[in-house]
Amino acid sequence: MTTQDIKNAKEHIASLQDNREVYLNGKQVEDPTTHPAFAQAISTAASLYDFQAHPDNADLMTFKSPTSGRRVNRAWQMPTSYEELVQRRRALVTWAEQHGGFMGRSPDHLASAITGQIMGLEVFEAYDPARAKAYWDYYVYARDNDIFLTYVIINPQTDRSKAVGEQDDDTPMVKIVDEDAEGVTVRGAKMLGTSSIMANEIFVAHLQPLQPSEEDYAISFAVPMDISGLKVVSRKSYEQHAVSEFDNPMAARYDENDAIMFFDDVKVPWDRIFVHRSPDMCRAQFHETPGHIFQNYQAQIRLSVKLKFLVGLARHVAETIGTITIPSVVDTLGRMAAQACSVETMLHGMEAKGHQRGEYFVPDRHALYSAQTLTQELYPEMINTIRELAGGAVIMLPSSAEDFADPGLAKIIKQTQVSADGKSDVERVKLLKLVWDVIGSEFGGRHTQYEMFYAGAQFVVRGHSFRSYDWDGSKGLVGTILDRYDLSSSLSKGQRSAAE
């Protein structure tokens, strides 16, 4: 097999050197690929492409596009059987293992979302054949070029007591402000463009429910990140504020970034518009196609790797501080291990309970929403458990790696950073600084927020679970018992006549 044509890191980084408008700290960033706020995270994301292009990994990670013949990431693959779904999952797990699950919007997330929607292309065809054709052509373009897409599908938070259409006239939500034969002009903002600084294109849609009258907001499209008028307003960069890689190992390399995406009169051509003025189709593109399933199935695959990483971190902590032999600590680690394994096993359940939807094999919807409901609570719980296990060890640390360069301080560090498992002082500090960057630093705090909210607030995710559960089966079990008795069977003959 020739692998030379598979997208690699060099190709991806070159593709980002365009005219995108990224803003940080009051200034426009000239080239995110070399900027100290973004360069390392971009390099981490790009290294995923080198990984897939490596001859040893090419078969695991890629498949041949049926249109171009080019090998592209398996996230673009539409599984036609249980076996293909599992094969596709193995590629996604392997990519997540390269970053411990900390790149939430790695390229396989959107590739999964779009591929899932395209598996339900008949929903678009029934809505509008022209929009369906535009979407299919876009999918083929995105797949054959193995592009890195991200998305914004949520409105900026603003005032949640008002519906989209009830906001003030100068509403900040993306909406249609003009249209002509060439396309549609949109204005306004969306949150929260994770990974947008390192993506090639942005997909825009409206996941939150819209009223029938809110047609101006009901649009879905995809545009290149350097389209004229698109402003990327970045949050604080944790990468830029990392003291060093030794001090902030996660922030230094894995800060995928989040940004407000502001569309300042962006003109979107018709061949990039997939939903136009249809509130109902905004919902259907996620929920009547397998789109929402595939995007969140990818997220759970990634998260299962991250939870396994957290359990490993917890065990390291217990061994280093010498609590691993305490029965209650063993109990805690056993519980964490069981929780991580449950999530991993739920992935297998989604696949085993999957079903054939026309040509394609799709994971089980309710098994997926069950995993999401559980993991939204589990992630912060596990972070809290690691805090509990670590005590002050994650704070009792040198201010920075530079303390080791001072002989007097180095001596104090050697005397105080003592481990139960034979780690040197440097090894102990290295581990505990990693732990803090995962559980307590600004980077760590953002990750807890991410895992609690990336798929919607709890009431949203639990609503999906409510709507997709087998209530007939569940209530039927109760009915089976209820049907076996009635009031009269518990009364004597005399009581029965009195009760009648």
**Is residue 456 at the binding interface for ligand FAD, with CB under 6 A as the rule?**
yes
* Alpha-carbon separation of residue 351 from 347, 467, 473 (angstroms): 6, 20, 20
Q: Give start and end residues of each alpha helix (H) in 128-187.
A: 129-144
Q: By CB under 6 A, is residue 203 in contact with ligand FAD?
A: no
Give the interface segment with ligand FAD, choosing from 24-32, 336-344, 443-451, 486-494 (CB under 6 A). 443-451
What stretches of 353-420 show up as alpha helix (H) in DSSP?
Answer: 365-390, 407-416
CA distances from 116 to 85, 147, 248, 291, 323 (A): 12, 16, 36, 4, 46
Q: Which is nearer to ligand FAD, 130 or 460 (CB)?
A: 460
105 near ligand FAD (CB under 6 A)? yes
198 or 429: CB nearest ligand FAD:
198
Cα–Cα nearest to 88, from 312, 381, 294: 294
When the beta carbons of 152 and 333 are compared against ligand FAD, the nearer one is 152
For 183-234, give the DSSP string: EEEEEEEEB--TTGGG-SEEEE---S---TT-GGG-EEEEEETT-TTEEEEE
- Are 432 and 390 in contact by the 8 Å Cβ rule? The answer is yes
- For residue 173, the 8-state DSSP code is B
Is residue 451 at the binding interface for ligand FAD, with CB under 6 A as the rule?
Answer: no
By the 8 A CB rule, do 94 and 53 touch?
no
Strands 259-269 and 183-190: antiparallel
Task: Choose the stretch contacting ligand FAD; rule: CB under 6 A; options: 73-81, 269-277, 305-313, 449-457.
Answer: 449-457
Q: Encoding tokens for residue 14?
A: 């070159």
Q: Which range of residues in 95-103, 214-222, 329-337, 457-465 is near ligand FAD by CB under 6 A? A: 457-465
Mark residues 392-431: x for contact with ligand FAD by CB under 6 A, - for none.
----------------------------------------
Residue closer to ligand FAD, measured from CB, 345 or 449: 449
**Which lies closer to ligand FAD via its Cβ, residue 317 or residue 455?**
455
User: Segment contacting ligand FAD (CB under 6 A): 82-90, 118-126, 374-382, 450-458?
Assistant: 450-458
Q: Whose Cβ is closer to ligand FAD: residue 47's or residue 458's?
A: 458
Q: Is 163 in the site for ligand FAD (CB under 6 A)?
A: no
- Omega prior to 192 cis, within 30 of 0: yes
| Binding track, positions 375-394, relative to ligand FAD; x by CB under 6 A | --------------------
Length of the chain: 500
Size of the site for ligand FAD (CB under 6 A): 22
- Toward ligand FAD, which CB reaches closer, 65 or 458? 458
User: Is position 160 an interface residue for ligand FAD (rule: CB under 6 A)?
Assistant: yes
Pairwise CA distance, residues 314 & 381, whole Å: 13
Q: Which of 39, 191, 420, 491 binds ligand FAD (CB under 6 A)?
A: 191
Neighbours of 134 (CB within 10 A): 21
* CB closer to ligand FAD out of 127 and 454: 454
Exposure string over 3-29, b if 16+ CB within 10 A, otherwise e: beebbbbebbbebbeeebbbebeeeeb
Contacts of 221 (CB under 8 A, 6+ apart): 184, 186, 203, 204, 268, 272, 273, 274, 275
CB 154 to ligand FAD: min, Å: 4
Task: Please state, as a whole number, how many other Cβ atoms lie within 10 Å of the Cβ of residue 471.
Answer: 10
194 part of the interface to ligand FAD, by CB under 6 A: yes
Stretch that binds ligand FAD, among 154-162, 418-426, 463-471, 474-482 (CB under 6 A): 154-162
The C-alpha atoms of residue 30 and residue 453 are separated, in whole angstroms, by 31
154 scored as a contact of ligand FAD (CB under 6 A) = yes
Single out the residue of 63, 102, 151, 443 in contact with ligand FAD (rule: CB under 6 A).
151
Taking contact as CB under 6 A, which single stretch among the options 42-50, 166-174, 185-193, 361-369 is the one that binds ligand FAD? 185-193
**Binding status of residue 259 toward ligand FAD by CB under 6 A:** no
Which of the ranges 89-97, 186-194, 238-246, 414-422 carries the binding residues for ligand FAD, by CB under 6 A?
186-194
Residue burial 38-50, b: 16+ Cβ < 10 Å; e: rest: bbbbbbbbbbbbb
Tell me the window of 85-93, 163-171, 244-252, 456-464 that interacts with ligand FAD (CB under 6 A). 456-464
Contact pick of 2, 4, 157, 492 for ligand FAD (by CB under 6 A): 157
With binding defined as CB under 6 A, does residue 454 bind ligand FAD?
yes
Contacts to ligand FAD by CB under 6 A = 105, 150-154, 157, 160, 191-194, 258, 446, 449-450, 453-454, 456-459
